[in-house]
Structure formats: structure tokens, C-alpha cells
């Protein structure tokens, strides 16, 4: 009887020892896996575009214009179509063509070729410096000959990229122009331009 008790004790001790050895080997071969839950990264609108600036390519849009011509004391308002091409992330060229009112007896057709230098490429708001040459065709409703005015303009603006391929623009420009046919006084004034640009890339 004593022999059976001693044998059972030896078997139990062997089983416990083997179990501990197996657990030690399992811990060494396969360390415990830790699971970490992370919240998904929230990306701000336009973040992909503004991280490195606008990539080379075309953009198209519309611009609403309001302004004032001091020499003729004329209020200006109108709508323009815009075609823009970005050579590098910080430099673009833009062509505007539109229709402006403000006078009961004339219709203004402004055209301009602009350069845009972006001063800040990162962030949702990108300020820029704008300059260029402008040509304005004045169609007289009274039947008088068509008048042509040429000049230049400079200004400052900002573009807000609230979507990857869409930008909102707002700029203030000062312009100077004079008649190309007659020796008239120099015309000058300011315009406030609010636009929407759709980029293809």
C-alpha cells in the first residue's frame, strides 16, 4: 500500500514538472500578442494638396468682380472665366476673360494675363501675389466707336483649399490703364475678385 502511495506521488510530481516545462517552452517560442486600438487619422480638407503645393496642371473657374474706377467715378461689376496653369507648386499663370457693367451706355469686356506667386505652400490658406497686363474693350451702346484701354495691375490675395481639387480665391487688385487710341487721362481704380477654381489634379 505504501508503495502505491509513493508511486502516485511520483507520477503527480512528474506531471506537474512536465506541465511547467511545456509552458516555459511555449512562452519562449510564442511571446504573448498585444493588441493596440488606435483611432483613425483625421485628415483636414485639402491636406493632401497643401502638403506640397499645387502640382503642375490646369485649373478652370469663375470669378465675380466688383470695383471702382476713380477717374470716371464708375462702379464696376461683372463675371469672368478663368483658365490657370501651374508650372511649379508656387508659380502659376492665369488668363481671364469676362463681362463687366457699371455704365448705362457701355459694356466692358476685360481681359487679363496674370502671374501668381504663392507665398506659402503648406496649410489650408495660401496667400499669393498677383500681377499682370490687362486689356479692356468698351462697347458703346450709343453707337460711338469701340474704345480700347490697356494697362497693368498688381495685388494680393489668398486661396483656401477646402477640397483637394477645389480652391476658393479672394484678391484685391489695383489697376492702371489708358486709352490706346486717344490721349486721355490715366484711369486707375481697384477691384475685389472672388473666385472658384477647379483643378484637374
In the chain the domains, ranked by start, together with CATH numbers, are 47-199 (2.40.160.20)
Position 52 scores a pLDDT of 55
CA distance 171 to 195: 9
Per-residue pLDDT of 169-193, as tens digits, reads 999 999 999 888 877 778 889 999 9
Cell numbers at residue 96, please? 481671364
Other beta carbons less than 10 A from residue 85's beta carbon:
13
Q: What is the pLDDT of residue 103?
A: 66
Across 46-50, 101-105, 117-121, 153-157, the highest mean pLDDT is recorded for: 153-157
- Kindly tell me if the per-residue pLDDT of 89 is higher than 50: yes
pTM of whole model > 0.75? no
How far is CA 138 from its chain centroid? Answer: 34
CA distances, 188 to each of 9, 34, 68, 124 (Å) = 109, 71, 9, 33
pLDDT of 149 strictly over 50? yes
Greater pLDDT, 152 or 7: 152
How far is the C-alpha of 43 from the C-alpha of 51, rounded, in Å?
11
Judge whether residue 135 has pLDDT over 90: yes
pLDDT of residue 49: 45
183 vs 66: which has the higher pLDDT: 66
Amino acid at each position: 500500500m505504501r508503495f502505491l502511495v509513493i508511486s502516485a506521488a511520483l507520477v503527480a510530481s512528474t506531471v506537474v514538472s512536465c506541465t511547467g516545462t511545456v509552458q516555459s517552452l511555449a512562452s519562449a517560442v510564442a511571446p504573448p500578442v498585444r493588441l493596440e486600438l488606435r483611432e483613425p487619422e483625421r485628415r483636414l480638407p485639402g491636406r493632401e494638396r497643401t502638403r506640397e503645393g499645387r502640382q503642375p496642371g490646369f485649373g478652370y473657374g469663375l470669378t465675380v468682380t466688383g470695383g471702382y474706377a476713380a477717374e470716371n467715378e464708375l462702379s464696376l461689376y461683372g463675371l469672368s472665366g478663368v483658365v490657370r496653369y501651374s508650372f511649379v507648386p508656387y508659380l502659376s499663370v492665369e488668363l481671364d476673360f469676362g463681362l463687366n457693367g457699371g455704365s448705362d451706355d457701355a459694356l466692358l469686356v476685360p481681359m487679363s494675363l496674370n502671374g501668381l506667386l504663392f507665398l506659402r505652400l503648406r496649410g489650408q490658406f495660401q496667400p499669393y501675389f498677383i500681377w499682370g497686363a490687362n486689356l479692356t474693350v468698351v462697347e458703346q451702346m450709343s453707337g460711338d466707336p469701340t474704345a480700347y484701354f490697356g494697362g497693368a495691375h498688381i495685388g494680393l490675395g489668398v486661396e483656401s483649399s477646402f477640397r483637394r481639387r477645389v480652391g476658393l480665391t479672394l484678391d484685391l487688385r489695383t489697376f492702371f490703364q489708358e486709352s490706346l487710341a486717344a490721349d486721355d487721362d490715366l484711369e486707375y481704380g481697384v477691384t475685389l475678385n472672388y473666385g472658384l477654381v477647379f483643378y484637374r489634379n
